[in-house]
Chains A and B, each alone.
Chain A
């Protein structure tokens, strides 16, 4: 019994509706709001700024520091005690690795660019939403970046490859593979790849191609969010 009809009626390759906005947190140097389906992520970038503790400073380059956190009421069920648990620590780390290939922090020796991701509401795909939001926020902050990074989950449910799994699909009562990826379009490379579940190599490669396609769609939305904030055309000189 293959999974032919998705729980929320979406097509196989269809991603959930996305809302993205840049510059939503006034105090931050760059920020973004990224909503995909019912998963919402805020990202704020502060930096380059002074880095403490001193032993973490790198005289050859600035460092990127990511902090991912779910608000206590963001889970589908019980309240989650605040404070960074192991899952959040791991996600913070893979988020950093997902963004690092595109940022160039050589101009900022000994300094840090801090990225904070907070989610008030989640419905699967939270680390991917976080990465998408963080990418917009970093660009908004004027950080030198070769490209934007986009992220989405791909996977299989009962043998059918789908894109952008939601909570019901992750928890589906059948064989599920959940594969979050992050993608850099200009180099056609993946900077995040994780998997829960079971899959064959061929199916995986097929799923990854679909994932990249979805990421290319999402990148356009991220770009639009940035351009909308900076709605600029016309002369600066008088």
Chain B
């Protein structure tokens, strides 16, 4: 796996951590460089100060050739705390560039030539100005191990010698490394605080992203899992992602629902076509047979037994015709427009059934004027739905009817408070011969469905614990004919 393929969960803290480390390094580096500079300057300044203060007191001592006095003066700075003294040694040179006295007499023996003390000193020996009026001379060669500051011991134009303040760069480095060490630990401490915060922040930041990613990748397999918006209540991009995911999810659900509906409609259409063709096939010979029986009854002279048989045939065939007629819902029937009286007729018709059951019927119908809908068919639909509802509501139940009109649609809602419908019942509700009660033949809702569909409308049912509701919506512009109505509405 490549580095950039890593989860953002790790990449984000890594990147943040990298930035923090880089910042810390940059700050530390600048601090360190500055510290080195100031330490160097301090050192030089310190050397010059020492030289300036010490050289005058060395003059009389040299004048009296007091070696011990000179030694006491140069070793004074080291007597208190030899370890922390910045300067490595103080050397007094005579005018022949020989050691007069040094604070480190064992390393710089009395009367040794400066050049013989070591390569650093030899280099210094070459540069050292020996004029009586020479100023302070500092030498900090890059390659050299020591830094020198030479102060002439002179008075009134007479030079008796030179005081050399020597620093070992290792000492400088030692001090510097102490600073460096401290800087390192402080940086480490800061990183120790900041990095876990970044890691935590990154993970926190990535958690909702990860959830969204997981959900989206699972959409393909059909799982539409909702995201709890409480997981991320903020309105930034991640919050918007949450919302967008929710929107996508809603659309997908709608689509799935729609597809289901479409499937159902197609099935219903297929069933409709099949039923219609079978009904026609049955209807044609049936008409002939009934005609033949009628002719036989009118013109023939059958004996009583034959007569009885013919009557039996006639009743059977009539029953077949009724069933077939019920299957063959014909919406093209010419009929007068629907008026308020039609609905009122239906109410009067079903009232006895309701009263018999003890079902309360609430009725809200507002039809300001006649609607361009076939009254016979609408009445049939309403009667079927109402009788079903009354039957479902049972004793002491309630049935409510609302008939509403808008500019474009007629809406009919029939509710009952009976036993709720099961989901599997809901899916097959409008198919023929699916009866859920003992009394019906299972064609009532089929007829309703056929009528409404042929009128270009929709009929649907929903059922909750308290209420089962059938909603019928029929458009008022009757452009549809039966053939187009066979297709899907909308």
Q: Does B associate with A?
A: no
Residues of B at the A interface (CB closer than 8 Å) are: none
Interface residues of A (CB under 8 A from B): none
